[in-house]
A and B are shown apart, each in its own frame.
Chain A
């Protein structure tokens, strides 16, 4: 295995970590806001707060981690993505900033939480995946053009009128809600909060099918959008089939009321599809301009980063375990909120 492959695998792992954790977070914010509108907030409020409060900061770190690692391992992506994505990523930053601070203002600043803050938290949470997904869509190729003066620029009209781009945005939205509902169903079952459990179980069912339908649709659309990538996807058909099996198993477990296991299969489903997608685009970071080989950093830095990464992880894993033990897997905490 070459050091380039190790680098991109590490980053892909972080991106996947962010996708799962952020999905739970974004979805929780959305459900919290949505249930205020439908006047069911009292049912889900406690469960969501108990989960979110100690972990909300950690979510952001995953994003910065991915991003800093990307520049570290593949500095030339900084030039391409930085130049092209100024507006979409700035919008994401603004939304993330509003969301993070409104969460803190709402949760710690007021006694009972503030309706305006909560709604803001929900709305920004749905818009962020959409704006962040732009980076993924652009990396597929086809949306960057070079101006007469030699500048590279994002083709906004092409992007906004592309059904392919919109399908990916829809997929990111529905999968956020699906992953989140599945996790919160599990979390409320541990909390023995029956009402919240029923609601989240319902949401999981509602959001599961659009997720799988859009995902299949995108694979088909790829045939016209980027034929070589389509070939790549087809050659990995068995992985996508495995991911689909995990999807079916997760729904079956949901029916059997085994919520924890159901959530594990949801994560597996996404992990397999996410990695298969990543492998299928090999070796391109930005089609067709940057591959993982020509955009790679110098060897010394790459090895140093990998060593530091391992050392850092030896520090992080016990700490994350502590968080899990104290909050996420801790029954008395979840049930009493103590």
Chain B
């Protein structure tokens, strides 16, 4: 392998690790906010403790998120120097704003964590969460707009290799931005809700009968349902966007080789070496319907593009994985909520609780699959239509060394997070903490 490939794999590895923490980083504040609000409103110790415990775990994930985020920020220039030299003139604005948003979030998170019990009016302390939430969402917005720009560059003119007529805000608010940002935010909230639901379900599965876990599960599943539906709706817009602006990506995801009307939707299956689709489920007219909202619309196929600009066909699997998990989890959340109101006892069985425990990791897997699809789907471009990945990469021969070094680092970080988080909560179960809380109201730091 050469430097280009190692650069690609190293970037992919860093982003795949970072996105775990970044998703939680964006999503957890909204759940803390809801729990804290309910706790204050209903004067319920359980919800207050929930906010505290989530916040405590959140610090660990934020810490690792910060360091992996720093890594990717610097790696952009280290691994893709030619790309950054070129695009730096166009995307500096959102990159710059992202650090502001993150700064803002970091400051208020620090204050929130260390001022538990320092304000006379508890609502003042609660209010600190609002800038944390906004900061998180804003940094997701700005950084996603950079990624969106790489998919649909605009806001400049290229005359004889020279950039002219640069419009930074037009570059930032590019066509891919609204759907991308929408999908990133809703799916982050959805995933976080499922991750926290898994934790509550795990305790119930292990035999805890405590009210705290029941409340936690019900709350997180409600939030999960709302954002699952929102994610699906925005996801549909994203698909329609792709059909219009990046048809080659959608065509690769659907293995849609020939341009045709009444296009079928291809689910699952495998691709042979001669590009024949086998063992797939074909839903007639469905792709046309998804793209054009009518059954006969023409869908552009890969035949419209020269072969060297085709994305790798492997993205179909990632696309399927994301959609299947997304729909499955939406159904799971819907079933749970209906069952909760109808008092069906099925949701208390071990089998169902196992499903709930699996929901968090599955949602996270869907996030990964979605990003792999989105990123590999724009190969061979780093900036669609302007610069290929190979042109943007470093020519340093040492990238492979760094790949190994970072692989070891991420292994340490991921395993470390798991060990520390589980030890943190195992040594300090809810029951014990509630007892202590009634005795004296302790600070969150210790």
Contacts and interface: CB of A to CB of B under 8 A. Distances in A.
A316 B103 contact: yes
Interface residues of A, number: 65
A5 interface: no
Contacts of B85: 75-76, 78-79
B66 interface: yes
A146 interface: no
Interface in B150-199: 163, 166-169
B111 A82 contact: no
A64 B139 CA distance: 13
Contact of A305 (B92, B398, B423): B92
Interface in A293-326: 297-298, 300-301, 304-305, 308-309, 312, 315-316, 319-320, 322-323, 326
Contacts of B81: 78-80, 82-83
Nearest to A327: B114
Nearest to B82: A79
Given A85-B78, A97-B409, A300-B167, A319 B109 contact: no
Nearest to B420: A109
Contacts of A297: 88-89, 92
A68 interface: yes
A297 B96 CA distance: 14
A332 to B, nearest CB: 9
A127 interface: no
Interface string B388-428: 00000011101101100110010011001100110110010
A90 interface: yes
A53 B405 CA distance: 29
B335 to A, nearest CB: 36
A289 interface: no
B107 A64 contact: no
A72 B103 contact: no
Contact of B398 (A75, A86, A96, A109): A86
A108 interface: yes
Interface in B39-86: 56, 59-60, 62-64, 66-71, 73-75, 77-82, 84-86
B412 to A, nearest CB: 7
B424 A108 contact: yes
Nearest to B410: A97
A78 B84 contact: yes
Nearest to B109: A57
Contacts of B423: 109-110
B104 A97 contact: no
A90 B406 contact: yes
A300 B157 CA distance: 13
A79 B97 CA distance: 22
A108 B99 contact: no
Given A79-B84, A90-B406, A104-B64, A320 B70 contact: no
Contacts of B63: 57, 100-101, 103-105, 108
Given A300-B166, A319-B104, A93 B420 contact: no
B26 to A, nearest CB: 16
Contacts of B395: 83, 151
A279 interface: no
B59 A305 contact: no
A39 interface: no
A31 to B, nearest CB: 21
A60 interface: yes
A57 B132 CA distance: 13
The residue among B66, B93, B394, B417 with the most chain A CB atoms within 10 A of its own CB is B66
Interface residues of B, number: 78
B86 to A, nearest CB: 7
Interface string A50-67: 000111011011011101
A275 interface: no
B402 A90 contact: yes
B362 interface: no
A256 interface: no
B110 A55 contact: yes
A78 B77 contact: yes
A24 B413 CA distance: 25
Given A60-B66, A97-B70, A86 B394 contact: yes
Interface string B106-139: 1111110111011000000000000100000000
B56 A108 contact: yes
A109 B109 CA distance: 17
Nearest to A61: B103
B68 A97 contact: yes
Interface string B433-446: 00000000001011
A55 B107 CA distance: 8
A71 interface: yes
Contacts of A3: none
B100 interface: yes
A109 B68 contact: no
B106 A308 contact: no
The residue among B67, B166, B409 with the most chain A CB atoms within 10 A of its own CB is B67
A102 B66 CA distance: 12
Contact of A87 (B92, B402, B443): B402
Interface string A95-130: 011101111110011110000000000000000000
10 smallest A-B Cβ distances: which pairs?
A75-B88, A72-B92, A104-B63, A82-B81, A78-B84, A109-B420, A82-B77, A97-B67, A312-B100, A79-B85
13 contacts: A57-B63, A60-B67, A63-B70, A71-B77, A71-B95, A94-B406, A102-B416, A105-B416, A109-B421, A301-B93, A316-B103, A319-B104, A326-B115
Given A57-B62, A83-B395, A97-B409, 10 more contacts: A57-B110, A60-B66, A68-B99, A86-B402, A89-B74, A97-B67, A97-B70, A109-B420, A308-B96, A323-B107
